[in-house]
Chain A
């Protein structure tokens, strides 16, 4: 296994200290009782993760607001980023179309160590994603653009959507200086072998350079179920989109693999890359986007 430095663009944090940081676990897919038990027994905090980072060669990462536990109360993700600015910056979740969000975003980004805004949502009855770029949401995009924040997008369910990508491409062209990062690579096909992972939907993103891809443990776990070789997928992503557009994130705090295992899988998935490519994908690309460096 090659040695590698890493930067984790996708870590979720939550604490068992629910008095200080109140939780809202309503609607959790694993069940509210289960997620409460997980929070109490196995919190994901900088105190537990940073020592692992030191041991495993992870220089830093993004504290991505965890919808399952906190919804849009970003206090804990902000506290984590504020308290550990040498290792972490915060990616918020706010409701893009809420009229209060642009001012809230400006306020939080001004006073805290914020590096990005994440939007999450489901399709409407027609399978479309108007929440991405509704007129009200565009006000939020405008503020994020002005503040130089990264936009991080995740849509449900976990299959590639031409409807979502169409809107994302339009947004990327409207805000060409804003980097848009797609969680879990924006979902790939998992039912067509590794040749079929990147379908026509993804190819529409080819010539939109400010759209980037986070490859995460969620991708690897889905590939494992489908018998897809993650190393061949990563090689294919790099060959398709170029080495500068792909980066790694663990999904720590959400995906249940141990952190050591996630790092091991990440490094293994880069086995078909050159050393220079590996460094970019595992570390440099993510750090350039998600570390709030002075």
Chain B
């Protein structure tokens, strides 16, 4: 039997080197390099053309390596972390450099900013103006609060890791329910990524529910390489196998992959 066709794009990975500074609150401190060359070799080894480097919480807004990598490798796009005070000039320059969005992530226990306040609304408006999306890596409660607040802003939203990574009560929780409602309103996409951090047996059900609501055009697959914290129990090939298992219909996978290519590259 022919092996399944790989996706054309991996919408979620991290690259870093040991020289990069960890934030004071970094949840883990990898003691190895995952240089872009290693990542690209993984893509090439699995027949994947394009990749999206996602800002890792560990390094805060130290986006320097990501930006350097984007300048050298046009087959990559990225999200970065930005301060809420970032100005339009900085955002426009990032966009021109190959940055597609800003990753917004907070510790589970951290309070959200005043979502109706000026600073947050200005930030989101500037993202919209710059053509950048906002990528949410938040808990269920945080998602439930922030998604409705983003709804009238016109900003494109990408929710990480099935919308379930830090959600209590799984699909019944308020976060996932908010994600489903946001998808329905039209500007929200969800990444089927980091499945290895979620209950393995439930992944197919999660994927089926998301496909039912979002359709393949608003779901993106991502490997989450190099599987920080789980390096010894996940391989790149396994993340693909998981994808093929939980979305067994090759046509759906194909539509997801093409939609991600359009969203991040063209």
Contact = CB atoms under 8 A, between A and B. Distances in A.
A81 interface: yes
Contacts of A85: 73-75
Contacts of B97: 110-111
A294 B74 CA distance: 12
Nearest to B44: A83
Contact of B49 (A83, A106, A294): A83
Interface in A62-90: 75, 78-79, 81-83, 85
A294 B69 CA distance: 12
A19 interface: yes
Contact of B265 (A19, A79, A110): A79
Given A82-B75, A82-B265, 12 more contacts: A19-B254, A20-B8, A75-B265, A75-B266, A79-B49, A82-B74, A83-B50, A85-B73, A110-B96, A110-B98, A111-B96, A113-B74
Interface of B: 8, 49-50, 72-75, 77, 96-98, 254, 258, 261, 265-266
A103 to B, nearest CB: 10
A67 B97 CA distance: 27
Given A79-B49, A82-B50, A294 B75 contact: no
A232 interface: no
A5 interface: no
A244 to B, nearest CB: 28
Contacts of A111: 74, 77, 96-98
A107 B96 contact: yes
14 contacts: A19-B258, A75-B266, A79-B261, A79-B265, A82-B265, A83-B50, A83-B75, A85-B73, A85-B74, A106-B96, A107-B96, A110-B96, A111-B97, A112-B74
Interface in A98-149: 106-107, 110-113
Nearest to B76: A82
Given A79-B49, A85-B74, A113-B74, A20 B258 contact: yes
Give the 3 A-B residue pairs with the shortest CB-CB distance, closest first.
A113-B74, A83-B49, A110-B96
B253 to A, nearest CB: 13
Nearest to B8: A20
Nearest to A110: B96
Nearest to A20: B258
B130 to A, nearest CB: 12
B78 to A, nearest CB: 11
Contact of A20 (B77, B96, B261): B261
A110 B261 CA distance: 17
A81 B8 contact: no
Nearest to B43: A83
A151 B200 CA distance: 53
Given A83-B50, A110-B96, A294 B72 contact: yes
Residue among A85, A111, A112, A294 having the largest count of chain B Cβ atoms under 10 Å: A111
Contacts of A112: 74
Contacts of B98: 110-111
Contacts of A107: 96
Given A106-B96, A110-B98, A78 B49 contact: no
A82 B74 CA distance: 5
Contacts of A75: 265-266
Nearest to A76: B266
Nearest to A292: B74
B91 to A, nearest CB: 14
A223 B8 CA distance: 42
Contacts of A19: 254, 258
Contacts of A294: 72
A110 B74 CA distance: 9
Given A20-B8, A20-B258, A20-B261, A81 B74 contact: yes
Contacts of B72: 294
A79 B266 CA distance: 9
Contacts of A82: 49-50, 74-75, 265
Contacts of A78: 265-266
Nearest to A46: B49
A111 B75 CA distance: 9
A82 B75 CA distance: 5
Contacts of A20: 8, 258, 261
A113 B70 CA distance: 11
Contacts of B73: 85
